[in-house]
Amino acid sequence: METLEQMKKKYDGKPIDWVIKEAKSHREASCNAHEMFMGKLYYLAKTKRYKENPEYKKMDFTQFLKTEFGMSYQDYHNKIKSLLFYKEAVDEIGLVTTSSVVGAFGKKAEEVLENVLKARAKVNKPEKKREHTTNVIKAYRDKEKVVKKPKFELSCIECPKKDKIIAGLMEDNEKLRARVRELEEFIEPIFEMAKKVATG
């Protein structure tokens, strides 16, 4: 970013409406760049071409994401799902907000996003649109019931093989996550094809 003095020299003589318009154009360019970035990751995930680089040959896509971009698979998944199935919401409220709704509400995400769009359509001012977005999401969050899990502790006295059991559970959990990722990669192209058929 330029220093304040550099920006003052560049913008002090410009009309304020022009400066604000420029700021909005940069924000739009940033949003478009984010979507293009996710598109490239989607391509790499589907083609597995990242494995052409010897450094990543033995990595699965989750490891590649974390190593190269510091991104979790869940974050990637939520954003790609948003772009594939909720593009109208992405265009209206942005990829970050849309993907956070997808991640937070799961199967209810479509309902939440539909109500967000309906609420925003009722007002014209940007600040009111943001307020309506926040209110709708908050209303759904408030409805979510927090399920408290019972405390379960394994002491060394109760279970001498505690570490072994925990390690086994973690390994099983990782295998389950890997299987889920495989199923998602299998199902997504089917959804895309169905979507194309439905839209003609």
Q: How many domains are there within the chain?
A: 2
Its domain, for residue 164, covers: 150-200
Q: Report the alpha-carbon distance of residue 6 to residue 98 in Å, rounded.
A: 35
Q: Are residues 142 and 154 in the same domain?
A: no
- Over residues 166-186, the mean pLDDT reads 69
What confidence tier does 196 reach under pLDDT thresholds 50, 70, 90? Answer: low
CA distances to 44, 61, 66, 77, 175 from 56, in Å: 12, 9, 11, 20, 20
Which pLDDT belongs to residue 147? 42
Can you read off the two tokens belonging to residue 159? Answer: 């279970």
Largest CA distance in the chain: 76
Q: Are residues 84 and 116 in the same domain?
A: yes
SS3 160: coil
Beta-carbon count within 10 A of 49 CB: 11
The per-residue pLDDT for range 85-118, each reduced to its tens digit, is 999 999 999 999 999 999 999 999 999 999 999 9
Residue whose tokens read 């109760």: 158
Q: Are residues 125 and 170 in the same domain?
A: no
Helix, strand, coil share (%) of the chain residues, nearest 5: 80, 0, 20
Which pLDDT belongs to residue 42? 95
Residue whose tokens read 């799902």: 81
What confidence tier does 121 reach under pLDDT thresholds 50, 70, 90? Answer: very high
Amino acid present at 3:
T
Q: Are residues 19 and 59 in the same domain?
A: yes
Q: Report the alpha-carbon distance of residue 71 to residue 98 in Å, rounded.
A: 17
* pTM tops 0.85, yes or no: no
Can you read off the two tokens belonging to residue 89? Answer: 């919401």
What confidence tier does 129 reach under pLDDT thresholds 50, 70, 90? Answer: very high
Beta-carbon count within 10 A of 44 CB: 18
Amino acid present at 85:
F
- Over residues 129-142, the mean pLDDT reads 92
The per-type count for the chain, helices as H runs and strands as E runs, is 9, 0
Can you read off the two tokens belonging to residue 29? Answer: 């360019």
Q: Are residues 112 and 89 in the same domain?
A: yes
Which of 26-35, 134-143, 152-161 reaches the highest mean pLDDT? 134-143
